[in-house]
Every structure is written in structure tokens, then in C-alpha cells.
Chain A
């Protein structure tokens, strides 16, 4: 079925999907809050295509970001032969007590069309502030890890990764 580019964005398919999502939210119960409803994957709902400066501004506003290279351990290969699968591990030095823990970790790659790779929301129950993921990198780029502490401080570390074959169409 070829879909004509509709301006209204409300087609039978999207409507059915929206209904399915409502049903899913109904059964998943109190554990997943309303914000856990999966966004639709149409272009409007995706991360916008933008420069990394715009992403940083959108995510963090004008808040100052401190250099966190001593507190954040960003484990990522120097050269990634395949940009489609680049393992990244971010570890933030933190006691992870309810009073002082890392709230969010963002992984952002500067030259991707949609720079934000992933946003993690952490809790003190994790014991350490360590998250890892495999990300896509479109080309040789800086990769930033931004940690937001529970008191609102933002720390950032970044490293350049050389990518031989890009792995990102979007």
C-alpha cells in the first residue's frame, strides 16, 4: 500500500496504532507512568534533525555544563571500524545514595543527524552509575556523555571516535 504524504497525519493506520498504545498503557499498570507510552515513530515524533548545539540547548537549556572528565569514565573505542555498532560504556563516580546520585546519563554523538543517542534515568538502587549501550555513529565524531546529578549539576566528558564505515542513515 503506497501511502500518499498526508498533511493531516491521521490515517487509519496511525489511528489503530494509537488505540493499540492506549490499550498497552492500560495493562501495563502503575509501574509505567503515562510518559512510558511509546511515542509513534513518525517523523514528527522522532528526535529532530539538528546540530549538536541545538540538541544541547534543547536538553539542558542554558545551564552551565562543567568539565567532568575526571568523574566520568567514557569507555569507547578510539577507532570504530563499523559505525553501526559502537559499544559505549559510561561510568560516573558517585556514591549513589538517595541524597547524592546520578539522575540521568545522556549519550550524544555530535555529527549524527539526530545527535541524541540515548537518555538513561538512574536510581540509587543501581549501586554504581554505570550504563552501556551499542550506538550508531554516522561518521567520525565526538561522543559526549553528560551526567546530570541529583542536585542538578551537569558534568560532561567527550572523546573523538574515528569511524571507518558510517552506520547511520537517519
Chain B
């Protein structure tokens, strides 16, 4: 549990200007599923990521609403067009108010 919120982001090692870059991101998170007791769902504050926001130099490029039907330690892949060098930031928000961020610097080679 100590590792909750650890974000890993992978981008290709060499990026040229204007390339469409494929990014893979992973966050360590339990993504609790609904517990049942006597067949009835237990009402409590389930701990799972319900929002993912990707920004590139401050501009939002992708947002996702996720549910508990997403795996434990969620993995996401997406692309973006690298028009300028900058910072790609991925923020994961969960139902307990947690915010886990990962950033990666995009440089052209």
C-alpha cells in the first residue's frame, strides 16, 4: 500500500518535432471493487481512480472518467502530437481525494 500513487510513464526514446507520440502510463492503485455481504453491495467510500487528466504544457489533451471496471494498477495508452518541447503531465484523481501526478519532459532529438 505504501506504493499507492506511484506513476510510471513511458515515451519513445527519440522524438522528432511533429511526431505523433505514443505514451504509456501506469499508476499503482488498488482500484477497490464493490464488496458484497449476503449478496448486497456494501455501502462505503470505495477507493478507486475516477478521473485521469493529461496535460501538455498546461493544455488539456485527454481526460478520462474511469470506473471500478478498470483493472488494479491501471494502465493507459494514448497518443499526442509533439509540436513543441515541454512537459507532459498525467494526473490521476481518486475517490478519497488523492491526486497522483507523473510528468515527463518531451525533448526533440
Contacts and interface: CB of A to CB of B under 8 A. Distances in A.
B93 interface: yes
Contacts, number: 162
Q: Interface range on chain A: under 10, 10 to 19, 20 to 34, or 35 or more?
A: 35 or more
A36 B34 contact: no
A151 B93 CA distance: 30
Given A28-B99, A132-B76, A135-B71, A123 B60 contact: yes
Contacts of A42: 43-46
Contacts of B35: 169
13 contacts: A17-B45, A32-B53, A40-B45, A41-B46, A47-B67, A118-B66, A118-B67, A123-B60, A127-B21, A131-B77, A132-B77, A168-B33, A168-B69
Interface of A: 3, 5, 13-14, 17, 20-21, 24, 28, 31-32, 36, 38-47, 49, 84-87, 89, 109, 112-123, 125-128, 130-137, 167-170
